[in-house]
Amino acid sequence: MIRTGKIAGMFAVLAIFAAMLCSAAPAGAADISLSYANFPPAKTFPCVQMERWKQEVEKRTNGKVLVQTYPGSTLLGAKNTLRGVMQGQADIGCISLAYHPGVFPLCSVFELPLGFTSATSASLALWDLYEKYQPEEFKKVKVLTMFASAPSNLMTKTPIRTLEDIKGMELRASGILSKILESLGATPVSMPMSATPEALQKGVVKGLFSSFEVLKDLNFAEICRYETVTNSAVYPFAIIMNMNSWNALPDDVKKIFNDLGREQAEWTGQYMDQHVKDSLDWSKEKYGIELVTLSDADMKIVREKTMPLIEDWKEKATAAGIDGAAVLTDVEAARQKYEAQ
């Protein structure tokens, strides 16, 4: 009886193994499957870069790693991705730092009006800053890459031709970029990009402050026919990974992910800069949008009114134990280096 039971048990174990092999591991299937949460719609640049990263990872690991992508807040939304990734509801997630005021006292320096003219230079400078400082604010996650949007501009339903026109206007932004709007006399309404289409539709806001590629990708050109050029601050992003998921990866995969960090930052910046041009051409063609430029005098006022935000940032950074002056000096050096390229 005992003997029979043992053999039966062994068969049962074998049967379970056979079932596992058949159901979960068809020939050539991935050993590792990772979920990747993203908040905006699939067409937008954070999701385009996500698909590019997935492709590169699957190629470079010869299919050993499979990345399951979830665009459009289908796994985690804009404001719960940070917590969701830390808790393991997704292995990887995309966050816009400006949606978390006070949480990133160091990297939020990139939300300031520092004069970056492209997403490429800002993305490379942001990645350099991250690598140099390895900031405390990210210590609970693994940062896979970082990048920035292109400089921000005003996209509005009615034209902003002078700084007078912006007074009291409800405009969507986030983080320090909302403070930029406030210092210009607008009424900022902070919300994630993923909530903006509805807010524009309902009239909760009269426009937004972000990079121009959304005119096409979110069809904002249809509702915001006036685009006032300010070339203001960028929005910094981070792609974060759950620490346990990261620690469980084999060394060869970790190396592939690490090697992709800077490359992905640059790829995304370059994609964004090209896409801003495509989006403006498309918006002129399809909706006849008007590009408005402010006078030199108004641009000077913009610089003067937003300058105190840099001092504010430095004070908050110092309070968080960061050498704000050193960070600003490093970012400015990186800006000059990458803008010259």
Would you tell me which residues interact with ligand 3IO (CB under 6 A)?
40, 44-46, 96, 98, 149, 174, 192-193, 210-211, 214, 235
- The torsion angles phi and psi of 213, rounded to 5 degrees, stand at -65, -20
| Nearer residue to ligand 3IO within complex by CB, 41 or 115 | 41
**Smallest separation (angstroms) from ligand 3IO to the CB of 314:** 23
Looking at beta carbons only, is 214 or 256 nearer to ligand 3IO? 214
Q: Whose Cβ is closer to ligand 3IO: residue 114's or residue 253's?
A: 114
End-to-end CA distance of the chain: 80
Closest CA relative to residue 174, chosen from 90, 237, 258, 250: 237
The 10 Å CB-count burial string (b at 16+, else e) for 203-225 is eebbbbbbbbbbbbbbebbebbb
CA dihedral 16, 21, 23, 26 (to 10 degrees): -170
Q: Residue 94 CB, nearest distance to ligand 3IO (Å)?
A: 9
Residue at token pair 């998921």: 245
Strands 207-210 and 236-242: unpaired
Smaller CB distance to ligand 3IO: residue 166 or 171? 171
Q: Which is nearer to ligand 3IO, 266 or 330 (CB)?
A: 266
Distance from C-alpha of 228 to C-alpha of 41, rounded to nearest angstrom: 25
Q: How far is the CB of 190 from ligand 3IO (least distance, A)?
A: 9
Question: Least distance from C-beta 18 to ligand 3IO, angstroms?
Answer: 46
Rounded alpha-carbon distances, angstroms, from residue 182 to 138, 178, 189, 291, 302: 29, 6, 10, 22, 11
Contacts of 102 (CB under 8 A, 6+ apart): 316
> Are 234 and 122 within 8 A, CB to CB?
yes
Compute the least distance from the CB of residue 46 to ligand 3IO, in Å. 5
Measured from the CB atom, the residue of 65 and 71 that comes closer to ligand 3IO is 71
CB atoms within 10 A of CB 245: 18
Compare residues 91 and 217 and give the one whose CB is closer to ligand 3IO. Answer: 217
**CB of 81 or CB of 211, closer to ligand 3IO:** 211
Q: Residues 205, 148: contact at Cβ < 8 Å?
A: no
Output the CA angle 122-107-294, nearest 5 degrees.
50
Count of other CB atoms within 10 angstroms of residue 21: 10
Least separation in angstroms between CB 41 and ligand 3IO: 8
Provide the minimum distance between the beta carbon of 315 and ligand 3IO in the complex, in angstroms, as a whole number: 24
In whole angstroms, give the CA distance from residue 244 to residue 215: 38
Write down the least CB distance from residue 194 to ligand 3IO, Å. Answer: 7
HEC assignment per residue over 7-68 = HHHHHHHHHHHHHHHHHHCCCCCCCEEEEEECCCCCCCHHHHHHHHHHHHHHHHCCCCEEEE
User: What's the closest the beta carbon of residue 233 comes to ligand 3IO, in angstroms?
Assistant: 10
Residue number with CB closer to ligand 3IO (149 or 283)? 149
